[in-house]
Amino acid sequence: MIIERLKKLTEAIMAGSDVNISLDDMNRDSRLVEDVCLNSISMLMLVIAIEEEFGIELPINEASHCVTVGEIADVIQGCLDAKA
């Protein structure tokens, strides 16, 4: 479920960019930079969107080290678990 929500957030962010990429195959192993084509600005936008969507504050020290969609999903899940 987190992956699907991340896909929708990422699609919304990428819609305003010059990058024309299909995120239909985005999964836990998709790399944020190489496969999803996020740059530093779109990553920042994604972090803000994640925080708003999930009602959490991502720890920047953890989020900045995420390479794959699965890793960011795990950080989100950890924040949600800590909040519960």
- 3-42 in b/e form (b: 16+ CB < 10 A) is eeebbebbeebbeeeeeeeebeebeeebebeebbbbeeeb
Q: Which phi and psi angles does 68 have, rounded to 5°?
A: -115, 165
- 59: DSSP letter: -
For 6-41, how does the pLDDT look when each residue is reduced to its tens digit (9 = 90+)? Answer: 999 999 988 877 777 778 889 999 999 999 999 999
How much is the pLDDT for 61? 87
Tokens 């992956």 locate to 3
For 2-83, CATH gives 1.10.1200.10
Q: What is the pTM of this model?
A: 0.90
Mean pLDDT of 54-78: 94
